[in-house]
Amino acid sequence: MIHLVPGAATLAQLATIYTEEAPVRLDRAARPAVERAADAIASAAAGDAPVYGVNTGFGKLASMRIAPKDTATLQRNLILSHCCGVGAPIPRAHARLMMALKLLSLGRGASGVRWELIELLEHMLERGVTPVIPAQGSVGASGDLAPLAHMTAVIIGAGEAEFAGQVLPGAEALAKAGLAPIPLGPKEGLAFINGTQFSTAFALAGLFDGWRAAQAALVTSALSTDAIMGSTAPLQPEIHTLRGHAGQIEAAATMRALLDGSEIRESHREGDTRVQDPYCIRCQPQVTGAAMDVMRMAATTLATEANAATDNPLVLSEAGLIVSGGNFHAEPVGFAADMIALALAEIGAIAQRRIALMVDPTLSYDLPPFLTPDPGLNSGYMIAEVTTAALMSENKHLAHPTVTDSTPTSANQEDHVSMAAHGARRLGQMVGNLDRILGVELLCAAQGIEFRAPLVTSAPLQAVIAHLRATIAPLGEDRYLAPDLEAAGRLIASGRAAEAAGLPLPEITP
């Protein structure tokens, strides 16, 4: 059970919710503030003054007054009418993280929902009732309206949910879990669907999975350096200290530790006619380290957003006000997603150049063409390298900014939007591409190092190769390679390839 304090949840807690599907419970100290805000909304609903979303219509219809007897119907209609998502259902882990983020937002005590709704959301997480949420339909402003409506529909007994491996009508899924739907009161539907939790969940998932790929890239780049008998002189700590960027300093230090004790490296310290290695070897800390710094900047934004109250209007209990604002606008999340996308694309771009270096006999320092022991009759990793070029190019296109692509919606009431939802959603595809690029690099670098026998690499890198070889044999004669590429990509995605080195790797929060 993860105990979350609204306003103080950590990236580590959110990563655990995402990767382990852990149940969530809000700190009970949040309850008084939540109930004060709910009381304020109840009073407003009983009064005569117009309050947006409490006794008025929504968006362009905000000028329409709603009678007190119709406020519950207003909220139910809001949810049902906004269930307009399309496309494939999002993964369960992302849906659960989205639910946890909504708990954090409601727990700030500015949304005006009753505590029993928070408890129902907690019980759904604990008992495995996961709303079926279509992936497409949010423009990331006025909240992630459609996906959050699909999430909320289950709370009121509508929509669909997954439970015990089955997709069921929402009311049936709740009943099988021993839960009951709760009709929404004044503003409660609006509180649930105004917010950035869909965009933020996908951005966080991209961050967590992307960081694991960045860690793996440090390991695969060290392997590639030894495979082509590259120099470790560019890893000298003073070089990186003189520049001062934290990620660069950490990347260089990690690579030094990974390569320490390599017989291959020691064998060419003297008499090597090459003066400098290509940039993909020499500038690895500057590129991967910069990507790490960018991802950490995004992480700071997303940690703040995860703890934010992002619906509208907000109940300012101490001031005695209910105020319309714009915290639902996901511009910060959109920027963060674009930053992560750029980092992922660049880690893949330089890794692909290392692969190209290793398969090219004119650049690989005496490795056989395409890393096959019998070139000509065999093509080795020739087309595996081409595949990585395709994936690299795809990621470059996917890295183009989405946050700059606004369009007016809702009869020009919502006339600037963030496009954070698909900006964040595309990160999953990019990480998958990057994992496969790094998987091919792992295969090529291990093969290259084995061609250097009887010289051996460092102990940490030997351990990585041994872990790889427990799953994938060296490439002798050509064979059906697609399963090897997928298996190597899984070793990267799982973190097992990097962990096999047995050394500390940079963390997302240094």
Catalytic residues: 52
Residue 314 main-chain phi, psi, to 5 deg: -105, 145
With beta carbons less than 8 A apart as the criterion, state whether 371 and 359 touch. Answer: yes
- Tokens 């009508």 sit at which residue? 169
What amino acid is encoded at 60 in this protein?
Answer: K
Q: How far apart are CA 51 and CA 510, in angstroms?
A: 45
Structure tokens, 444: 């090529």
Residue 56 main-chain phi, psi, to 5 deg: -130, 170
Give me the long-range contacts of 323-329 (CB less than 8 A, separation at least 24). Answer: 324/52, 328/141, 328/142, 328/143, 328/194, 328/195, 328/196, 329/140, 329/141, 329/142, 329/416, 329/417, 329/418
Q: How far apart are CA 301 and CA 303, in angstroms?
A: 6
Residue 247 main-chain phi, psi, to 5 deg: -60, -40
Structure tokens, 433: 């591409």
Q: How far apart are CA 418 and CA 404, in angstroms?
A: 7
Torsion of CA 214, 215, 219, 221, to 10 degrees: 20
